[in-house]
Structure 1
Amino acid sequence: MPNLALYLLATLIWGSTWLAITFQYGVTAASASVAYRFLLAGLLILLWCIAKRERLRLSRREWAGVAGQGSLMFGISYMLVYEAELHIASGLMAVLNSSMVVFNLLGMRLVFGKAVDGKSLLGAGLGVLGIVLVFWPELNTVHGSSAWLGILCGLGAALLASAGNIVAQHNRHLGTPLLPSIGYGMVIGGSLALLYTLLSGQSLAFDTRPAYLASLLYLAVFGSVLAFAAYLTLLGRIGAGRAGYVAVVVPIIALLLSGWFEGFVWQVHTVLGIACAVAGNIIMLADLGNWGRRLGLVSSSR
């Protein structure tokens, strides 16, 4: 699949998961919902791998990388996201999540020695600025210890997700098979969320409402299996720094859906913010002097 198609698939699906997550709150504990989502998604991927006869046996080194990726990307970071949205608005969580772009660039520099060029910094800066402008009213409503706890959880989620991106990049360098690593990682992350739920004394009660079941299936199949497979394939091709820019585009998609389903009212700062994010997107993902094969998203060889 071309890189552009992978990028669009990940952004469009994850842009819609912000709405789907809101149907997860209520009867089932947030960490239990994370567990059910990723255990189901991981098992589906592993069943697919068995059917396709993918290599499922991993070396000790590969298992270590998969365990790290699963714990960070599918376990702890998502538990923090669900916790954050109990204290702050989802739009503010989107702002905090966009900081993953900067964390990815810094992580690639520290771990792999990849230079952070001016184009990447400008693109990331414009993207984060755009998201801040879009959600400026929500940023102005942050008051009290509960809101600041939500902010800390949100930033922690972005930082740990970025660390998971770096580990995933390392796993790709090791040659760890992609789909089995995602499947095992999701089972590990889901199991970690399940263990946390039990140790914290929370109930494992399962919500049987149609809305919860439908959102769980959507988040597991589309938001986890398809979106992560597309994103991690893209990450292996263009690197965590540039692939991580998905985190800036996703809130814009979420905003468009919010306007359609929730009556979001567009303001001047909204338009300016989207313009900044789009400009940053073009700068981050494209070599402006050579459109086409060198875009970073378009690949004639794959």
Structure 2
Amino acid sequence: MTAFLYALTVLIWGTTWIAIKHQLGPVAFEASIAYRFALAGTVLAGALILSGRLAPIPRRHLPFVALQAVCLFSCNFACFYLAARSVPSGIVSVVFSAATIFNVANAYLFHRRRPAPRILAGASIGLLGIACLFRDTLAGTALDRDTAIGLALALLGTWFFSAGNLVSARNQRHGLPVATVNAYGMLIGAALVAGVAASRGVPFGFDPSPAYVGALLYLAIPGSVIGFTAYLTVVHRIGPEKAAYMTVLFPVVALTISVFAEGYRVTPLAGLGFALVLAGNVAVFAPLRRWRGQQKGRPEAACDA
């Protein structure tokens, strides 16, 4: 099941960057983020209520649910949408791949948890592959003031996402259900974005075009309800450091779609990038499985999980 959730998250979030492009238009980005998470939170909460699975959040945990909303359902996306104004979405997705590094660094900074060498090796190989995939795009982007600001915002958004991983892991360790926390968190995130936008006088318009509505529905239901639930479940099962390696695979999915939908041509360097990303995935996960197979029945085998 963990492998299925891993693959599902990669497939869904690898395609959301394309949908975000259709939200950058006449509607203010704050409004688009608020619409996305208000719809996602409502749908998820409604489904949990109908199934009798919406659990109450104890008062002592509410600040951490709100913190998760700040990191995963508001501030990070505000940074990404702002970054996409001045930086191509492909580059934003490359920067997002740095979540692997941020998660390792934050885990050590806040929990003094040293990453296994294979995780560092796999992340490094994967990031090198991403650099190969987007070398032409990166080289063709002039680093002017707006681009520098866009890159900084993308990095800040990635840091928020990484911090949110740790907050979610904390909430799950205390027995809070992933779906319930996500439902409340999405609604809180939508309210935060809407409140800040309203205080700044941002108009809340709406674009009824099929492209905008379709993108909104895709980002809210598969991208948020399914994607975040699957991803944060994987975080709980394998840890934030290994789960973050998914972010290295997102641009690969986006490029694969571009081959068929946008006529993207795979150069030899890009082919090398694909191979390196897959090799990084093997480095992160295969050694653990072999070790467990060899050490079956011995309690030491679990210490690497």
**Count of aligned pairs:** 293
C-alpha displacement at 1:18, in angstroms? 1.2
C-alpha displacement at 1:285, in angstroms? 2.4
- 1:56-135 aligned at under 5 Å gives the runs 56-135=55-134
The DSSP-based 3-state class of the residue aligned with 1:290 is helix
Alpha-carbon deviations, 1:161-183, whole Å to 9, x = none? 00000100111111112111000
TM-score between both structures, scaled by the size of structure 2: 0.92
> What is the match of residue 231 of structure 1?
231
Alpha-carbon contact 2:178-2:233 (below 8 Å) kept: yes
> What is the match of residue 268 of structure 2?
268
Q: CA RMSD in A?
A: 1.5
- What CA distance in whole angstroms lies between the structure 2 residues aligned with 1:293 and 1:158? 35
- What CA distance in whole angstroms lies between the structure 2 residues aligned with 1:258 and 1:79? 25
Alpha-carbon deviations, 1:268-298, whole Å to 9, x = none? 221111111111111112325618879xxxx
1:23 aligns to 2:22 (yes or no): yes
Alpha-carbon contact 1:100-1:162 (below 8 Å) kept: yes
C-alpha displacement at 1:45, in angstroms? 0.8
- What CA distance in whole angstroms lies between the structure 2 residues aligned with 1:152 and 1:43? 32
Alpha-carbon contact 2:101-2:123 (below 8 Å) kept: yes
Alpha-carbon contact 1:24-1:215 (below 8 Å) kept: yes
> What is the match of residue 257 of structure 1?
257
1:32 aligns to 2:31 (yes or no): yes
The DSSP-based 3-state class of the residue aligned with 1:86 is helix
Alpha-carbon contact 1:142-1:148 (below 8 Å) kept: no
Alpha-carbon contact 1:104-1:240 (below 8 Å) kept: yes
> What is the match of residue 277 of structure 2?
277
TM-score between both structures, scaled by the size of structure 1: 0.93
- What CA distance in whole angstroms lies between the structure 2 residues aligned with 1:148 and 1:266? 27
> After alignment, is 100-109 or 189-198 more displaced?
189-198
> After alignment, is 193-202 or 72-81 more displaced?
193-202
Structure 2 gaps of 5+ residues are 295-305
Alpha-carbon deviations, 1:195-250, whole Å to 9, x = none? 22222322100111111111111110100001111111111111111111111011
Alpha-carbon deviations, 1:136-183, whole Å to 9, x = none? 122121321111111001000111100000100111111112111000
Alpha-carbon contact 2:45-2:54 (below 8 Å) kept: no
Alpha-carbon contact 1:70-1:189 (below 8 Å) kept: yes
- What CA distance in whole angstroms lies between the structure 1 residues aligned with 2:103 and 2:96? 12
- What CA distance in whole angstroms lies between the structure 1 residues aligned with 2:268 and 2:291? 31
1:144 aligns to 2:144 (yes or no): yes
| Structure 2 letter corresponding to 1:3 | T
The DSSP-based 3-state class of the residue aligned with 2:278 is helix
| Structure 1 letter corresponding to 2:90 | G
